[in-house]
Chains A and B, each alone.
Chain A
Amino acid sequence: MTMNPFQPIGRALLNLFAVIGRISTFAGSGMMHAVRPPYYPRIVLRQMVDIGFYSLPVVGLTAVFAGMVLALQSYTGFSRFSAEGAIANVVVLSITRELGPVLAGLMVAGRIGASLAAEIGTMRVTEQIDALTTLSTNPMKYLVAPRLIAGLTMFPILVLIADIIGVFGGYIVAVYKLGFNGANYMQKTMDFLTFEDVQSGLVKAAVFGFIVALMGCYHGYNSKGGAQGVGMATTNAVVSSCILILCSDYVLTEMFFSK
């Protein structure tokens, strides 16, 4: 027995490529089914409500506190010179560019990624996915495509709302705690806000939404064994979507702002 130190590395690398290949195929097939009939508007709508509407409390709370903390933190640094402008600037830029999409993405990854993986995973291990096939229904079209569409479309809306709530959180702290003039603060916020900032945040949100839905569906769809397999799928879905969100956030930021 010779121990080649490169062997495990090579194997891990090959495995990684194999997984990337499988996920890409899965995503491609899911999207292909999303654009080709038959469509399931009822299910798409239900997923949109599940993913979008029911995530509002979690996303809203995250955003309002993120905005408040930002205002408080930046005050310590900027308190001596034209603090109003600086704080409004920091809050609105950080929220729209980064914290809105990333925090919302991570929070919803926990909520939605886990529930998608658990739901589809349970359907897999109880043979419900097999049953769909025998009832003239393609499970990729019926289960996966609607969830991908919902993730892709609802995340930007969620993040837009998170942006507004986050800025509002900053406003509360600036006006009621730090004693700034409200109208003035709002004016500064508007001055600093650019379309590009919001737009980049929303594009990120769409990508993150797709990632969360994809990871939830992929891990659920491929889960094996009983309750334990579903549990593992759930964990993997959440962990992998969080990691992918942070990685793709960097890549997208490069693309948008490094010109």
Chain B
Amino acid sequence: MGNTPKIEMRGICKAFGKKVVLSGVDLDVGVGESVVIIGGSGTGKSVTLKSILGLLTPDSGTVKVDGENVIGMGAADRERINHQFGMLFQGGALFDSLPVWENVTFGLLAEKRCTREDAPEISIEKLAMVGLNADVAYLMPSELSGGMQKRVGLARAIASDPEIIFFDEPTTGLDPIMADVINDLIVKVSREVGATALSITHDMASARKIADRIAMLYEGKIIWQGPVADIDHSGNEYVDQFINGRAEGPIQMAVRA
């Protein structure tokens, strides 16, 4: 049992109507490992994460968490599994009717791991980790800039010290310096706290920094995966084109001049 992966995906397929998004995704994430999924816009990276979280049900395939198949499991079991998850949504998905402090401590309050009296104090600590100062805690999400919302979402995702964290484009919309602060934070959470992390990013600098392993999603499948050190000599022309950001290559974007 020693090397059961934390997350094991096999043959995940998902189509929306006629549009096939995933057609057999196989991916493992080891305990304490940090894996980054790269891939073009609209290739189904977010859909992959949501399939693991149970927010979308794949048409076929299995997802195992700690060796236990989570697809089609009952609501109570699903809740138990989801306890160990934290998720940063691509769009932030902050609760716009609640102040920032309550957003950040929402999971802790739901699990009764802190009281409402202590919550603002705790949220200020968590906000400091993502480079936001204390007065932000009492604002509403609509009063924040896009990048600040992203960071509050990040603070919320890591607030309850989850064992498995999903980051959907953690550095998109941040300035380069703040992006690096966030990269450091993700590295800290996964290396020091020992959390398992599965992230999505378009930002290759960020991917190189936070990943132990990189996987590339293309046309519904993982077409390449390997240690981050191998990314520059993957021998895969799709990967080469993607990481170098060239318009010319095997990946054809659906644009006409």
Contacts and interface: CB of A to CB of B under 8 A. Distances in A.
Nearest to A119: B97
Nearest to B106: A135
A127 B82 contact: no
Interface string A91-127: 0000000000000000000000000000100110011
B93 A135 contact: no
A141 B174 CA distance: 35
Interface string A9-51: 0000000000000000000000000000000000000000000
B202 interface: no
B94 A128 contact: yes
Contacts of A138: 75, 79
Contact of B89 (A123, A131, A137): A131
Nearest to B97: A119
Interface string B85-99: 111010101111100
A136 B75 CA distance: 12
A76 interface: no
B93 A133 contact: no
A134 B53 CA distance: 8
A126 B160 CA distance: 22
A248 to B, nearest CB: 30
B55 A137 contact: no
Contacts of A131: 87, 89, 93-95
Contact of A135 (B55, B97, B110): B110
A68 to B, nearest CB: 38
B156 interface: yes
A130 interface: yes
A134 B50 CA distance: 10
Nearest to A40: B110
A127 B75 CA distance: 19
Contacts of A133: 53-55, 82
Chain A interface mostly? helix
B55 A136 contact: no
Nearest to A135: B107
Interface residues of A, number: 14
Contact of A127 (B79, B85, B89, B160): B89
B188 interface: no
Which residue, of A122, A123, A127, A138, has the highest number of chain B Cβ atoms within 10 A? A127
B192 interface: no
B10 interface: no
Interface in B155-204: 156, 160
Contacts of B111: 136
A44 B78 CA distance: 26
A200 to B, nearest CB: 37
Contacts of A126: 91, 93, 96
A134 B79 contact: no
Contacts of A128: 93-96
A65 to B, nearest CB: 34
A122 B89 CA distance: 15
A126 B96 CA distance: 10
Nearest to A136: B110
Contact of A130 (B55, B75, B79, B110): B55
A18 to B, nearest CB: 18
Contacts of B95: 123, 128, 131
A211 to B, nearest CB: 24
Most chain A beta-carbon neighbours within 10 Å: one of B86, B96, B160: B96
Given A136-B83, A138-B79, A127 B110 contact: no
Across the A-B interface, the 3 shortest Cβ-Cβ residue pairs: A127-B93, A135-B107, A131-B93
Interface of B: 50, 53-55, 75, 79, 82-83, 85-87, 89, 91, 93-97, 106-107, 110-111, 156, 160
Given A128-B95, A137-B106, 13 more contacts: A119-B97, A126-B91, A126-B93, A127-B89, A127-B91, A128-B96, A131-B94, A131-B95, A133-B82, A134-B55, A136-B79, A136-B83, A136-B160
